[in-house]
Structure 1
Amino acid sequence: MPDSAHAAVGAPAAPAADRPVAPLDTLSAADLDRAGGKGANLGELVRAGYRVPGGFVVTTDAYTAVVDRGGLAQRIDERLAAADGSADDAARAAAAIRSEFAAAEIPEEVRAAIVAAYAELGAEAVAVRSSATAEDLPGAAFAGQQDTYLNVVGQDALLDAVRHCWGSLWTDRAISYRRRRGIDSGAVRIAVVVQAMVPAESAGVLLCANPVTGARDELVVDASSGLGEAVVSGLVTPDHYVLDRRGRIREWTPGQREVVVRGTAGGGIAHDSTGEETAGEQLPAGVLTELARLGTAVSEHFGRPQDMEWALADGTVWLLQARPMTALPPAPVRLNRIQRRVGPVILEMFPYRPYPLDMSAWVLPGPGRLVSRMMAEIPGLRVDLRDVAPEVDGVVDRFVPPNPRPTPAVLTAPARILGRIRRYDPERWTQDPRFTTFQRRIAELNATEWRSVPWDELRRVPRRALDALDLVTDLRVDYLPRSGMSLLRLRLALRFLGRGDLFSSLIMGATTRTVDNNRALEALARHVRDDDRLRAAFAELDGDALVERVHASPEFADFRAALDAFRAEFGHRETASALLLSAPTMGEAPATILGMVRTLVTRPAEPTADQSPDLAGDALRRLLAHPRAQRPRRRARLPRMVRAARSGVGFREDSHFELTRPLPPLRNAVLEMGRRLASAGVLGDQWAVLHLRREELEDLPDPDTLPEADAARLRATADARSAKRAELAGVPLISPAVRFHDSGPDTDALATGTAAGGGRATGPVRVIREPAEFGNLRTGDILVCPNTNPSWTPLFQSAAAVVVDTGGLGSHAAIVAREYGIPAIMGSATGTATLTDGRLVTVDGDRGRVTAAEPDGTADRPEPRGDGS
């Protein structure tokens, strides 16, 4: 319950919108536009009765009054336009805007209101904190992006701090952060929170869920001596507590007290490095219990776990700030044996969070329907991918490993399976009329000129593509039972003969489309090996540059023809996952194909078919030479069993190969719909169509005739899902605490620290000790540094992971890393000393460990760019 002594329920309504100052107890969460995120949340806490230092907010109306004077708004717009160039241009423009605010004249009515509110507060020393309207939001914490000034004394110092808080809206890091989040800088305003200083003996951060595991029944406290600035800014390795909801300690790691931040008598703060004598002391049990109580209650009040700052003075806990936790993983789930076995296989097929169109136009009605039908019609089990990838507000928010459930159909499964075994022989599956119909329908779709298709026909294409896929689903359901039976019979026969070791070699003789694909790639690699000019191009270039050279050079005509033939035959195959419509196919991504060819070129050439050893034939000869295989009937039956097993393997592989044939026409059709919707002004760009659902597109009339009200609703729907997806950008699909396989303890860690989340990434170490070295970081490097502050934020866009000597879960580096979705380890203590530039390492942000990596290690595959994310 709130502290009733400080309750403000029934406080007067917020003052008129044109007043420059508002007391905290007049504000609430509804006042975001006037008080900014920090001010609105603090007002909500005060009105709910929580112990918050007294204070007031210099509202956004005051900021607007300053900006509207003397043409400052126009000059800001001009500077922002200049910031669209290089990073140096952006930095110069941002510095110029801040200089304007530092010298800005505060209108008399604003100045008088601030001074009067300061006098009425009655506190000589105050904390002055920026509170932007795009701040402390569910999907964007803006941690450390605007300025805070502590222990400000006197009205002149207060007015100067307010000016600098206004200016901090325009740092290059804040501008860059807003751009990455898709927030219009021109629409953002800033308020300033002024509160009485709390003379903290200890302070820190309270996270109301475990940010690494996602556990909602745990709270995390990072604490240190003095003001909380030392913890928030990562200047110290804090005491680290994991508590249950009653405040009992589940984990505790003592901090280092590298520095203590305290207020000075005349104003300002000092960094004292003599706090070692308090290192190792735990917070009193009563304080931990109170923090757990407050964190639980405040989270329930706001409806989601909170990231809070607190201070302890004279035995009293004060709340200094509360904002929604960002990038919080799903809560851990308990897995049974089936989920542990199947879960990793399916999770691997979601290399990034699927879009609404992925789920509605492909996953659920396509592969998901196939899996559900196969499980329902063969063994009689229920599996629904809607349970595996549940959606919240139209966006997949987590992954739940499938847990098949028996249905009444399980009782009749043997009869169904036996009937299919008798009727459907995999050796003849391509002669089935359904397969012929499937090929014809896909050929018709692929021959379509999408730009010229009328809208009414275009919006029906997804259904046509899925209807074609249903034919392959029918074939899989009918022919798989005999495929499985043939493989099982061969395995049992080999076990009877004591030659189970021959099973893999015997079925290796199966001819599949996957084998054909690999042979075609090797043929492309031979082209390169046999041509000095091609080999030089592959050695010199990669990616799009290599594609451009191959397509622009007349001497590469033969190779281009071979490449085009490969794309025509195998281009429907996926680049990222067979479950993702949003990812380009291989036919759309020649750079991907050339990358595979480059890998083959650097390896020894594969033998041609006539040079390869006949392992399958040799295995069959050894099998037939077995003493128990000499009976005539058995000797005649064994080759038939081998052939049937190979046919089963071939069907399983080749029917999977056919499953993705509808992807290119389906993808082309929905992207053409996106293009037309963007052209008509319904969507912001072509890729925004990925945030819509198939049924919404199928029900949509021609965009050129769509009423504006309907267009606005559709656009708002896409924007809302895009925002929700952006909120989840750094959130894993499953809690890192979920372990599919037990693993033993690691003994080879190069560095350890507090696990701040983000999964795993591999890359070369780059030690950056100061801003002057920022230019040394390259995309994909592991950023290793002594500490960070908000000016380091741009580096997180390039780094594959971050390892920091100091800091905890609530520090700037940890929050930003989680939002960017990169692994982070805080408080490593020796990271900059033990990790050397260029060394290839793997950072496990979920376990807090840095280990040596193999030379071929790679970071997790990123999501494709330019797709409306």
Structure 2
Amino acid sequence: MKLVAPLSAFGREDLAMAGGKGANLGELVRNAFPVPDGFVVTTHAYGLVAQGHDTRAYFEEAVLPDDLRQAIAGAYAALGGGPVAVRSSATAEDLPGAAFAGQQDTYLNVVGEPALLDAVRHCWGSLWTDRAIAYRAKLAIDDSEVRIAVVVQSMVEADTAGVLFTANPVTGDRTQLVIDASSGLGEAVVSGLVTPDHYVIGPSGAPVYTPGRREVVIRGTAGGGVTHETGAVTPAEPLPGAVLDELAGLGKQVAAHFGRPQDIEWAYAGGRVHLLQARPMTALPPPPVGKLNPVQRRICSVLLEYLPERPYPIDMTTWVPYGPVGLMGKVTASFGLYGVLSGFLREQEGVVYQLVPPRPRPSAAVLLTPFRLVARARKYDPARWTQDPRFRDYLAAITELAARDLGSMPWERLVHVPRQALALVEPVADLRVDYLPGTGFALLRLLAAVKLLGRGRLFGDLLHGARTRTSDTNQALERLAAHARRTGALDAEPMPAEFAAELTEFLAEYGHRETASPILVTPPTWGDAPEIVLGLIRVLAVEPPAQKEADDALERLLRHPLLRSRGRRARIRRWAEAARAGIAFREDSHFSFMMPQPVLRRSLLEMGRRLCDAGALQQPEDVFHLRLEELESIKEVSALTAVQAERLREAVRARAAKREELSGVRLIDPAVVFPVRETGDALVTGSPASGGVATGPVKVIRDSAGFAKLSPGDVLVCPYTNPSWTPLFQQAAAVVVDTGGAGSHAAIVAREYGIPAVMGTGRGTYVLEDGQVVTVNGNAGTVTRAP
């Protein structure tokens, strides 16, 4: 086992011996890139000294064995015995999804054998700092599996140094290179001590240059170590064009060699460019999608509302393709329009990476669509959809599946339950295909009538008042809130039996409602997370919901001079009731068609629990990082081999790390979907969705766990909404949403409750802050600072 070896002895496959940094540098050396000479003190050397110790203090005082000390001294002498840079190279760093940037130590301008040995010990010890341990825990990397090597290279006393990104780290544009540079050693740029010169080089090769300020210059000192020069630093000239061209060319070659965008540290000294490090770029945004047309923006606004969080692999192989999105794709395809809701999510290394705006493709069949719509509208009345035998059969099937005892089910039966739950959704598409035309026809007929009467502004209000499963849910919540307000049940310990019984009954009826998204299976339902329901009840129990003054839009419309005859009035009433029935169908069918989702989720978690018992997973929720076909390939969990278990663990670890890497990266730039409008002093702008003006303190609520934060009169600011959020609108003064448009859930509910709403701000939850008093203008689509 090698204790010390030259960089040229290693390549990208030698991660276990040379660590991420050493393996990448060795790969560059082997391929004739301009890398300073150096050697690696391998992970075997670390293991020889460590002997099970895992504290920084131990390594800083550790005595190196004679053969190791002599090997390091010999390699150092072969480099010339001059100044060197000593860098940590852990086996879990400089990898896709795990950069570990700055987590382990680097020592520059190390001079002399004693100082070199000290630097090696300090690098080993940096594996066990609190920050490094916490970072590994965040990425679910087992401490026992991590080793560290040390890279020693001839010191380059740079005139100018910095970082080269082979893709734009801000926009994700793969056609651009970005170079940051400053005087002296690159540590000033890497550590953020300076505002560097900034170059953006596009396909044309002409750089866009922004000069830096060079607040600090780091240089090596004659006896070892570095010095920080501050104060008035003479501005340097921009890098010569030939140097920029060389850096750009090297960056492209390195990225092509490793097959992905790279983060490269470089130095320019004595007229030569040197590459000091290369690692995969992490947390890189997806490539820009370009300008969207109105149809694409509309579709993307809906998809973003449905995707408040990144889908897991299990979502991508279950509820995304087979749930509501797949269902609506089948509906649109039945009318000759393809690609509306398919293929819009792209994966990288097993994790969803980008939302790609769909491009609907009409087929020749779309020419027949008007005739098909009219025929279905005549045959299928949305007011009677629950009497359809297909719906009754669906309810019977889901009731039977939900009643099964998954815990006692043998693996060979359990593994088939997800497909059985998904199969239940398939007939639902047929019901949507048949009954939605009647809904559309009823809405268009009513809209045309009110427009002809010159009362178009009443259209939205005319749709209110239909009884839906959502209104039933809200009334049941209000009854629970009234009980809690009357008896103090929410603060009692234990919870009073009568209130607990009512809550149990509520969850049995409405517990399948989603908390985050209707198109993902991984977020919990109300039944899975009753604390969310209790949060809603607590909001409503603060005080009785404000009683909105009744406003019967239909009666106002019927006072029109052209509607004096009994026949015309009766016709308008029928048309309004039909439109309301269509709205109720849309709402209630969604409520019913979500029923298989909890069964699907429970079956997946039950499989996760059994895989935990078999030692393949650490916790049941780890199953979300797997794909359904991977689970189905397991014939019997009790017979899982060690190799199979390790393969599952590695898949989970790698995907979890990639997901963590992308945690701050959006699936698509919201500004592309929701272009920012300049409107004077507005803090944020969006689409006007519900008229009126209201002022109140901001309350940013990012997910259902924060429901209890809302107080009466707050301005609700959130990234998305769904029916689970509806009760909050009874207390909010106004609502501001990052996603969605005038036809989205939040807009409809806001109009029903008579509060202003601004949709599609794209950035409201990032710009507005809790407690900030703002004025929401639902007519203009603006949010301004209140006087």
TM-score class, shorter-chain normalisation, is: 0.7 to 0.9
User: What residue in structure 1 maps to residue 589 of structure 2?
Assistant: 655
User: What residue in structure 2 maps to residue 784 of structure 1?
Assistant: none
**2:390 counterpart (430, 434, 450):** 434
Residue 631 of structure 1 deviates from its aligned partner by: 3.8
**1:217 counterpart (169, 175, 185):** 175
Cα distance in 1 for partners of 2:664, 2:76 equals: 40
**2:635 counterpart (701, 713, 727):** 701
Q: Which runs of 5+ in 2 are unaligned?
A: 685-697, 707-761, 775-787
- The reply to whether residue 208 of structure 1 matches residue 166 of structure 2 is yes
SS of equivalent residue, structure 1 residue 584 = coil
Cα contact 1:38–1:322 (8 A) shared by 2? yes
Cα distance in 1 for partners of 2:352, 2:625 equals: 11
Cα distance in 1 for partners of 2:456, 2:88 equals: 71
Q: Would you identify which runs of 4 or more consecutive aligned residues in structure 1 move more than 6 Å?
A: 745-750
Cα-to-partner distance string for 1:9-50 (whole Å, 9 max, x where unaligned): xxxxxxxxx232212233221222222111111111122112
Cα distance in 2 for partners of 1:699, 1:196 equals: 51
- Name the stretch that deviates more: 559-568 or 260-269: 559-568
SS of equivalent residue, structure 1 residue 278 = coil
- The reply to whether residue 587 of structure 1 matches residue 521 of structure 2 is no
Residues 707/109 of structure 1: CA separation in 2 closer, same or farther (3 Å cut): closer
Counting only pairs closer than 5 Å after superposition, residues 345-384 of structure 1 correspond to structure 2 as: 345-378=302-335, 380-383=336-339
User: What residue in structure 2 maps to residue 419 of structure 1?
Assistant: 375
- The reply to whether residue 732 of structure 1 matches residue 666 of structure 2 is yes
Cα distance in 2 for partners of 1:25, 1:420 equals: 72
Cα-to-partner distance string for 1:410-429 (whole Å, 9 max, x where unaligned): 12212221221111001111
- The reply to whether residue 53 of structure 1 matches residue 41 of structure 2 is no
User: What residue in structure 2 maps to residue 686 of structure 1?
Assistant: 620
SS of equivalent residue, structure 1 residue 159 = helix
Residue 316 of structure 1 deviates from its aligned partner by: 2.1
Counting only pairs closer than 5 Å after superposition, residues 785-800 of structure 1 correspond to structure 2 as: none
User: What residue in structure 1 maps to residue 212 of structure 2?
Assistant: 255
Residue 508 of structure 1 deviates from its aligned partner by: 0.6
SS of equivalent residue, structure 2 residue 306 = coil
User: What residue in structure 1 maps to residue 148 of structure 2?
Assistant: 190
Cα distance in 2 for partners of 1:322, 1:200 equals: 18
Tell me the amino acid that sits aligned with residue 89 of structure 2: S
Cα distance in 2 for partners of 1:638, 1:161 equals: 85
Cα-to-partner distance string for 1:373-416 (whole Å, 9 max, x where unaligned): 110113x1012655111334443221112221112321221222
User: What residue in structure 1 maps to residue 678 of structure 2?
Assistant: 744
SS of equivalent residue, structure 2 residue 343 = helix
Cα contact 2:340–2:361 (8 A) shared by 1? no
Cα contact 1:260–1:275 (8 A) shared by 2? no
Cα contact 1:763–1:857 (8 A) shared by 2? no
User: What residue in structure 2 maps to residue 462 of structure 1?
Assistant: 418
User: What residue in structure 2 maps to residue 483 of structure 1?
Assistant: 439
Cα distance in 2 for partners of 1:471, 1:852 equals: 44
User: What residue in structure 1 maps to residue 709 of structure 2?
Assistant: none
SS of equivalent residue, structure 1 residue 582 = coil
SS of equivalent residue, structure 2 residue 110 = strand
Cα-to-partner distance string for 1:317-363 (whole Å, 9 max, x where unaligned): 21111111111111011222211111021122122221121121211
Tell me the amino acid that sits aligned with residue 219 of structure 2: R
Residue 178 of structure 1 deviates from its aligned partner by: 1.4
SS of equivalent residue, structure 2 residue 263 = strand
- The reply to whether residue 568 of structure 1 matches residue 551 of structure 2 is no
Residues 694/206 of structure 1: CA separation in 2 closer, same or farther (3 Å cut): same
Tell me the amino acid that sits aligned with residue 594 of structure 1: L
Cα distance in 2 for partners of 1:595, 1:857 equals: 24
User: What residue in structure 2 maps to residue 160 of structure 1?
Assistant: 118
User: What residue in structure 1 maps to residue 296 of structure 2?
Assistant: 339
- Name the stretch that deviates more: 263-272 or 619-628: 619-628
Residue 648 of structure 1 deviates from its aligned partner by: 0.7
Residue 724 of structure 1 deviates from its aligned partner by: 4.3
Cα distance in 2 for partners of 1:712, 1:291 equals: 41
Counting only pairs closer than 5 Å after superposition, residues 127-142 of structure 1 correspond to structure 2 as: 127-142=85-100
User: What residue in structure 1 maps to residue 184 of structure 2?
Assistant: 226
Cα contact 2:139–2:656 (8 A) shared by 1? no
Residues 667/339 of structure 1: CA separation in 2 closer, same or farther (3 Å cut): same
SS of equivalent residue, structure 1 residue 312 = strand
Counting only pairs closer than 5 Å after superposition, residues 809-828 of structure 1 correspond to structure 2 as: none
SS of equivalent residue, structure 2 residue 517 = coil
Cα-to-partner distance string for 1:808-827 (whole Å, 9 max, x where unaligned): xxxxxxxxxxxxxxxxxxxx
Counting only pairs closer than 5 Å after superposition, residues 21-100 of structure 1 correspond to structure 2 as: 21-67=4-50, 73-76=51-54, 97-100=55-58
Cα-to-partner distance string for 1:255-282 (whole Å, 9 max, x where unaligned): 2222111111111111110343317x43
Residues 641/119 of structure 1: CA separation in 2 closer, same or farther (3 Å cut): same
SS of equivalent residue, structure 1 residue 49 = coil
Tell me the amino acid that sits aligned with residue 326 of structure 1: T
Residues 244/61 of structure 1: CA separation in 2 closer, same or farther (3 Å cut): same
Cα contact 2:140–2:653 (8 A) shared by 1? no
Cα contact 2:315–2:520 (8 A) shared by 1? yes
Residue 714 of structure 1 deviates from its aligned partner by: 4.8
Output the TM-score relative to the length of structure 1.
Answer: 0.76
User: What residue in structure 2 maps to residue 646 of structure 1?
Assistant: 580
Tell me the amino acid that sits aligned with residue 167 of structure 1: G
Cα distance in 2 for partners of 1:34, 1:732 equals: 35
SS of equivalent residue, structure 2 residue 86 = strand
Cα-to-partner distance string for 1:632-655 (whole Å, 9 max, x where unaligned): 432331111111111111111111
- The reply to whether residue 633 of structure 1 matches residue 577 of structure 2 is no
Aligned length: 701
SS of equivalent residue, structure 1 residue 855 = coil
Cα contact 2:4–2:72 (8 A) shared by 1? yes
Cα distance in 2 for partners of 1:248, 1:403 equals: 33
Residue 606 of structure 1 deviates from its aligned partner by: 3.9
Cα distance in 1 for partners of 2:27, 2:465 equals: 70
Cα contact 1:376–1:409 (8 A) shared by 2? no
Cα distance in 1 for partners of 2:419, 2:122 equals: 57
Residue 298 of structure 1 deviates from its aligned partner by: 1.0
Residue 451 of structure 1 deviates from its aligned partner by: 1.4
Residue 66 of structure 1 deviates from its aligned partner by: 2.0
SS of equivalent residue, structure 1 residue 348 = helix
Tell me the amino acid that sits aligned with residue 275 of structure 2: L
Cα distance in 1 for partners of 2:282, 2:167 equals: 11
Cα distance in 2 for partners of 1:746, 1:291 equals: 43
Cα contact 1:141–1:326 (8 A) shared by 2? yes
Tell me the amino acid that sits aligned with residue 213 of structure 2: Q
Residues 456/329 of structure 1: CA separation in 2 closer, same or farther (3 Å cut): same
Cα contact 2:299–2:358 (8 A) shared by 1? yes
Cα contact 2:158–2:267 (8 A) shared by 1? yes
Cα contact 1:331–1:735 (8 A) shared by 2? no
Cα contact 2:81–2:112 (8 A) shared by 1? no
Counting only pairs closer than 5 Å after superposition, residues 235-634 of structure 1 correspond to structure 2 as: 235-245=193-203, 247-250=205-208, 252-278=209-235, 281-334=237-290, 335-378=292-335, 380-383=336-339, 385-531=341-487, 533-534=488-489, 537=491, 552-553=494-495, 556-602=496-542, 604-607=544-547, 613-615=549-551, 618-634=552-568
- The reply to whether residue 665 of structure 1 matches residue 599 of structure 2 is yes
Q: Which runs of 5+ in 1 are unaligned?
A: 1-17, 68-72, 77-96, 538-548, 751-761, 765-778, 781-845, 859-869
Cα contact 1:387–1:402 (8 A) shared by 2? yes
SS of equivalent residue, structure 2 residue 275 = strand
Cα distance in 2 for partners of 1:223, 1:521 equals: 60
Cα contact 1:458–1:669 (8 A) shared by 2? yes
**1:170 counterpart (96, 108, 128):** 128
Residue 123 of structure 1 deviates from its aligned partner by: 5.1
Residue 585 of structure 1 deviates from its aligned partner by: 0.2
Residues 123/363 of structure 1: CA separation in 2 closer, same or farther (3 Å cut): same
